[in-house]
Amino acid sequence: MSKATVLNNIDHKGVKVDTQPSLYKNEHVNRSMIYVTEIGELHKEFPLVFYKAPDSDKGQLQLHAILGLEKDENLFLGVNGWNSRFVPALLARGPFSLGYKKSENDDSDDSEQAAPVICINMQDSRVNTEQGEDIFLQYGGEAPYLSYVKKALQTIENGIKFNQTLYALVEELDLLEPVSIQIKLSNIEEVNFNDYYTVNQQKLAQLDGEKLARLSQYGVLSLLYFVLSSMGNFQQLTELKNAKSAMF
Amino acid sequence: MTQAQNQVKVLQGITPQCIPYDELFSSNQPVLLKGLVKDWPLVKISQNNPQDVMSQLEQNYSGRPMLVYKGSPQIKARFGYNEACSGFNFDSERSTIPKVFDTIRSQLNQDEHDYLYINSLKLDDGFPALNSAHQLTFDHAEFENNSPVAKIWLGTESIAAAHFDQPKNIACCVLGKRRFTLFPPEQIHNLYPGPMSPTPGGQVVTMADLNEPDFERFPKLQQALDSAYIVELEPGDALYYPNMWWHQVQAFDRFNVMVNFWWMTAEPHMGNPMDLLMHGMMNLRDRPAAEKKAWKVLFDYYVFGDANTVREHLPSQSHGAFAAMDEQLARRLRAMLLNNLNR
């Protein structure tokens, strides 16, 4: 059970986050949910695919970055941390999350929106006061690690809204097809990509001008091509996997 | 309350179309504009039948919920702090015009009643159809980039403790008697300001009760009261007062309406000087007296003095922060300050 408290530079003075991967098993995952707002970066490194839970007919679509080929295998995680240039925001945020605070009634313009505040889960195994990344600078300023986390949290915050736009459009225009990649790891092992979908390139290419204009207007058209081209990263994934196997 | 000596300047016969702004601004004092908005539709209604103002507002209500301050009968119209100054003696809650008016109506004949106050609601948000008919003409150079927006203030009797605002203000009384008790900025020394946070309405307020002064606790308050300007507004009257002047605002009737216009005169790239004060408290206030004195001299020279004196003996390419502040220079300084502050 995670319990988040609002982060502040007085109560959490001196608190550090140890980002050593060995401390946090939740980073040892073979996929991560990602957000539309990070496709532009993540497609350069990870295979990005749509996922639909099989247990319901109207299952909500998700976008996933594939990180490994076996259970709990994250091929981008080295002994000292991530080897990739980019990290999915959901994992980059560490023990932090966004909460919403009812804005205090200020003098005039009553902003109806609750202001987002950064929360920290103090029970998280990475949180300590001994070693790792400082959250705050010596006199309470924002340390670089906190800036990094903030960026990840913003990616998530903005992505939650835009994900729905993407999902609605790809379903409406029927642009998805099952992932047909088959990866044979050994004679007995084969990786299964049931329930995963990617963009049907042919259907996308055959959309009429009006539909293409709509995709473009919503900023989705380029994202679909990014997702499509990210399939090439499966090659890198198998190379990482083979390199790792070769070491043993 | 002791009677103040100061007479407020009064201008008669002014209409919303011909406000003599140069004259208003030049005196740097409050000016009563007698009957300025007497022809506003709501004012005309209020003079014929005050009850009709409520129904007019209800009929023109946008339906958008707003924040309402609600105090128990014990607060005696004074919206302020609780004992510990950790919070307030009233609740603020989201509500709607019909709900608020129903509460006020249901208690109209009670001596003891709740105090309800909707403050600073954009007229166009609350009552869009009334916005265009309740305007003033802002045709002075000062309004070129600072177009004032009409805000409406509604509720039972209320006393807003004396505070200052950064924008300039024209307050127009629509319904009910309203009294402004104004003090020039230097009276801060005699006004016993409260905490910077929390504040009942976003601004620091005096801790002293001006209506029932406790001179034992606030001995210097007498000096403030002696230098006060007191203005009573009837429906149709308007009051201009300069920014940074302290003012207590009291509404006397069972239901009161005011519309006001605020405008800032600072360029938008200028930050909030309150941040500068806070920075001063953090970094300057607790240094030795002699050092503080030296800093005061520096501030007088660089900030409060004539901007030209600082730069006129220097080649213009070396002026840096001394140059006339524009958006680009402010951007540069902001980046530097952000960087320096983050430590």
Which tens digit of pLDDT belongs to each residue from B116-170? 999 999 999 999 999 999 999 999 999 988 889 999 999 999 999 999 999 999 9
Chain A residue numbers with beta carbons less than 8 Å from the beta carbon of B120 are 107-108
The residue of chain B nearest to residue A142, with distances taken between CA atoms, is B342
For the ranges A49-63, B33-47, B303-317, the lowest mean pLDDT is seen at A49-63
Say if residue A112's pLDDT is above 80: no
Each residue of A232-244: pLDDT tens digit? 999 888 888 888 8
Mutate which of A9, A106, A107 to disrupt the B interface (most B C-beta within 10 Å)? A107
Q: How does residue B321 score in pLDDT terms, banded at 50, 70 and 90?
A: very high
**pLDDT over 70 (residue B224):** yes
Q: For position A186, what pLDDT does the model report? A: 67
Strands A16-17 and A96-101: unpaired
> What percent of chain A is predicted at pLDDT more than 70?
89
Question: Looking at residue A106, what is its pLDDT?
Answer: 45
CB B151, CB B171: distance < 8 Å:
no
pLDDT at A31 over 70: yes
Task: Give yes or no for a contact between B328 and B267, defined as CB atoms under 8 angstroms apart.
Answer: no
Find, in chain B, the residue whose alpha carbon is nearest to that of A144: B342
- Nearest CA among B114, B52, B129 for reference residue B77: B114
B197 has a chain A CB within 8 A of its CB = no
Query: Which residue among A104, A107, A142 places its CB closest to the CB of B203?
Result: A107
pLDDT for position B276? 96
Identify the bridge partners of residue B247 per DSSP, sorted by sequence position: B163, B182
pLDDT one-digit tens code per residue, A169-180:
999 999 999 987
**Sheet with A96-101: strands ordered across:** A4-6, A115-121, A96-101
Length of chain B: 343
Q: What is the rounded average pLDDT of the residues B273-292? A: 97
Cβ neighbours, 10 Å, residue B146: 17
What radius of gyration, in Å, describes the C-alpha atoms of chain A? 20
Closest residue in A to B125 (Cα) is A109
User: How far apart are the C-alpha atoms of B15 and B177, rounded to whole Å?
Assistant: 20
Q: Stretch A134-138: mean pLDDT, rounded?
A: 97
* Shortest CA gap A163–chain B (Å): 29
Q: What was the pLDDT predicted at A110?
A: 44
Q: How far is CA B17 from CA B32, B121, B134, B172, B233, in A?
A: 16, 24, 12, 14, 20
What confidence category does residue A187 fall into, taking pLDDT thresholds of 50, 70 and 90?
Answer: low
Per-residue confidence at B2, pLDDT binned at 50, 70, 90? Answer: low
Contact (CB<8Å) B342/A104: no
- pLDDT for A109 beyond 50: no
Q: How far is residue B116's CA from residue B155's CA, in Å, rounded to a whole number?
A: 5
State the pLDDT at residue A166: 94
- Tokens standing for residue A167: 């999902």
Mean pLDDT lowest for which of A55-64, A74-83, B68-77, B127-136?
A55-64
Amino acid at A134: D
Residue A81 pLDDT more than 80? yes
- pLDDT greater at residue B50 or residue B235: B235
The DSSP H or E segment spanning B226 is helix B221-226
Chain B nearest CA to A211, separation (Å): 37
pLDDT classification of A107: cutoffs 50, 70, 90: very low
**Cβ contacts of A138 on chain B, cutoff 8 Å:** 343
